[in-house]
Structure 1
Amino acid sequence: MSIKVLFFSHDGKLGDAVVNTAFVAALRAARPDCEIHATVAGVTAPFWGADPRISKLWRVQRPGWRDTIRLALAMRRERYDYIITWQRMRKEKNKLMLWLARPGKVIDLQDYNAGPLQHKVAACGAALAQMGVAPGALAYDIGLPSHCPEIDATLPAGEEVVVINLFAADAERNVGAPQAEELLRGLRAQMPQARLCLVCTDATAQQAQAVAAASGTSAEVVNCEGNLARLLRLCERANMLISPDTALIHIASAYDRPVVGIYQNNGVKSVQWGPRSRLSACVLSASKDSLSGFAVADVLREVRALRDQALPVAQQVSAVAPSERLA
């Protein structure tokens, strides 16, 4: 019997959406006839909108009370078997929407969230288990094709590409200019011929350009503001990605690219949101609240180690059938 499922993704966080592709992939594999819907807002709208596994999107972009009621009653007519909220609703509008939607079962993962610390991908397995679906091995699986002729033309095949992200949603997770410049110079010394690509948005473009110029490394600035295809293809094209705890960590992991993540030293972030690539490493800062005091030398050491391992792994992958490769 076919089931109809709605999951919440209207927090607008791209990283969370990438993690939840593991849920979508596993559900679709176990129940090919299921109908999957998602609530979306901000960048999650184009992300899930291009995914053929998602049948319907519900745009929840700061609705008023009247819009919330209208939306919830429309959801109610769908007669969902399950609504996955991932956590207990705190906002009154979300609580009302959920109550009016009247699903067969709400999955908020209360017991999972109160349990031992795990990577966030495990929440996908916990949700599936509550739905009676054996999750099996969970892996990110971005459902939309990465296609960007501009990136392919700029970064031709065979050229080593290192993607560096310095910026996060909050200042505490940004890499400071002095460390960023030191990092770029160290990467250039290790990889004289590599293309160093600094990712930015409109808000951080000026800072990225200043860092690139001050480093003297000929690093290139790639602005991905409002261009999801460019961001996805850049991460897929990377031979190495270096970033704080941001969506880029998860996108590169979905494409199984070598990743070095830089995290606060609080015992939580690197566990819950660490990279999932086969070749990956985490470098911790000296602070539990920010990236202050992380050692650039540690990042460069991890880059060197992963780079040394990358060729044997690439040779192994080329010997495996495409259907058996990691998503």
Structure 2
Amino acid sequence: MIRKLNRVIQDYLRPIRLNLGRKLWDRKDKKYPELIKNNRVDMSRVKSILFLRYDGKIGDMVINTLMFREIQKRYPDIKIGVVSRGAATDIIKFNPHVNIIYNYKKGKESEVASEIAKENYDIVVDFSEMLRVNQMKFINLCKAKINIGLDKDGWNLFDLNYKKDNRKHITDMYKNVLSILGVENPDLSYDIYTGLVVKDEIKRRLRELGNPESFTIINPYAASKHRSFNIDKILEISSKVLKDTKDMLIFIGETSKKHEIEEIIEVLGDRERIKYPTLSGILEVAELIKHSTYVITPDTSIVHIAAAFKKPMTAVYRADDKEDTNSQLWAPNYKEAKQIFSIDLNKKLGEETDINLFNIDEI
């Protein structure tokens, strides 16, 4: 009851806070019209671009890597900075197309923005659909010459505006941004650079596992419990992999799931073919996926990591409806991967679809 009341209060206060935030921060002290021609940036005048990925989403950062590469292919002398936080930062830690990373810290936006402002960035690109007040403040204080935002038509803080079509793949949105920056017909593949230490560590782990000729990775978990496989479905999927293939079966998942996964392995009973290595960080996960034969996952972060390496994969999504085009927007988007769908016919209004209601024979 208290949680529901708090949610109602927050829903009521949110538009009030956002309106107040716009009154305070939706402004620019100086405009640079000479940098814009026909709703495009005059890239001949641009020396630096800053991308804002302060949401900390791993999958989004993986997709973002296509932009860093394509811009530096077209403009090799441009400095590329990225604002990031959390595990998403590891995705670009060794990326040769990123010159500098700024760690975003809630509550310390002014300090980070002050550091960025000293660098005199020509362009800031923001990917937020809805800007929170602290993000408005942050963009304002970065003091870039040109701010580019998603669906920010009518904002004073933004000089240029781009669109996202939810009926198309998310890379279509990135193409729109690249077009504003003078990059046409881009390569839309993703990059993940894991570094020598991680490469050597995963090679060592695989040697410990007997250097399996082939192995299938199962990632049972997603950010929401409604999008995670339940124990019955994990057992069902695992049994099918063990029956239909000669692959070793390797589970990945946060250490908080260790006890559950070990219980599942105990029930399955084949400890020679089923493993659960303790991995340290998202780059070790990525490197293990790179060496895998097949990936099964309901989580789009793992989908996009597998997509970076074009790994054969089954990705499980909830079925779309008129309002929800998640499976189109965040699809694997390459021929080696397939999508299967969970159809929850008993879902009530306001509830999330149960991801476990799919046909196991489709895997």
Q: Verify: 1:130 aligned to 2:171, yes or no.
A: no
**Match in the other structure for 1:47:** 91
1:93-144 CA-partner distances (Å, limit 9, x unpaired): 1101101212222222326545352212222211111112224231112244
Matches within 5 A, 1:194-213: 194-213=247-266
Mapped to 2, the partners of 1:194 and 1:114 lie a distance apart of 40
Equivalence for 2:37: none
Deviation at 1:276, TM superposition (A): 3.3
Gaps of 5+ in 1: 300-327
Which stretches of structure 1, 4 residues or more, deviate above 6 A after TM superposition? none
Give deviations 1:7-46, integer Å, cap 9, x for gaps.
Answer: 1122111111111111112112111111111111110222
User: Cα gap change, 1:284/1:8 in structure 2, threshold over 3 Å: closer, same or farther?
Assistant: same
Greater Rg, structure 1 or structure 2?
A: 2
Are 2:141 and 1:86 equivalent residues in the alignment? no
Asked if 1 retains the 8 angstrom alpha-carbon contact of 2:216 and 2:250, the reply is yes
Residue matched to 1:99: 140
Structure-1 residue corresponding to 2:349: none
Deviation at 1:172, TM superposition (A): 0.9
Contact kept in structure 2, 1:184 and 1:217, CA below 8 Å: no
| Cα deviation 1:255-278 (Å, max 9, x = unaligned) | 111011001112522211111343
Q: Counterparts of 1:198 and 1:14 in 2: how far apart (Å)?
A: 19
Q: How many residues in Structure 1 have an aligned counterpart in Structure 2?
A: 294
Corresponding residue number in structure 1 for 2:303: 249
Change (3 A) 1:143 1:27: farther
Give the whole-Å Cα distance in 1 for the aligned partners of 2:177 and 2:127. Answer: 8
2:275 aligns to what?
Answer: 220
Structure 2 residue runs without a partner (length 5+) = 1-43, 152-160, 345-351
Q: Secondary structure at the match of 2:276?
A: strand
Question: RMSD of aligned C-alpha atoms?
Answer: 2.0
So what's the TM-score if we normalise by structure 2?
0.76
In the alignment, is residue 117 of structure 1 matched against residue 167 of structure 2?
Answer: yes
State the partner residue of 2:110: 69
CA shift for structure 1 position 228 = 2.9
Q: TM-score, normalised by structure 1?
A: 0.83
Aligned counterpart, 2:76: 32
Q: What's the CA shift for 1:164?
A: 0.5
| Contact 2:59-2:301 at 8 Å conserved across structures | yes
Bigger CA drift: 123-132 or 286-295? 286-295
> In structure 2, which of residues 300, 315, 318 is the aligned counterpart of residue 264 of structure 1?
318
Counterpart Cα distance in 2 of 1:126 and 1:58 = 25
**In the TM superposition, what whole-angstrom CA distance separates every residue of 1:40-84 from its partner, at most 9, and x where no partner exists?**
11102222222232111111122x2xx322322222222212111
Q: Equivalent residue for 2:360?
A: 296
Amino acid paired to 1:46 = D
CA distance in 1, matches of 2:259, 2:163: 39
Matches within 5 A, 1:279-318: 279-287=336-344, 289-299=353-363
Give, in whole Å, the separation in 2 of the partners of 1:291 and 1:223: 26
Judge conservation of contact 2:343–2:353 (CA < 8 Å) in 1: no
Q: Is the 8 A contact 1:188 1:217 kept in 2?
A: no
Report the residue type matching 2:247 in the other structure. A
Aligned counterparts of 1:115 and 1:121: Cα–Cα separation in 2: 10
Higher mean C-alpha displacement, 129-138 vs 181-190 = 129-138
For the Cα contact (< 8 Å) 1:244–1:262, is it kept in 2?
yes
What is the match of residue 318 of structure 1? none
Q: Distance in 2 between matches of 1:141 and 1:155?
A: 27
1:151–1:230 CA contact under 8 A, matched in 2 = no
Q: 2:234 aligns with which of 180, 193, 202?
A: 180
Structure-to-structure mapping, 1:316-327, within 5 angstroms = none
Q: CA deviation at 1:174?
A: 0.5
* Partner of residue 192, structure 2: 142
Q: Following the alignment from structure 1 to structure 2, what is the Cα–Cα distance between the partners of residues 10 and 156?
A: 40
Q: Which amino acid aligns with 2:171?
A: V
* Cα shift at 1:221: 1.2
Please state if 1:160 is matched with 2:204: no
Structure 1 CA distance for aligned equivalents of residues 270 and 241 of structure 2: 9
Q: Is the 8 A contact 1:14 1:247 kept in 2?
A: yes
| CA distance in structure 1 between the aligned counterparts of 2:185 and 2:146, rounded to whole angstroms | 18
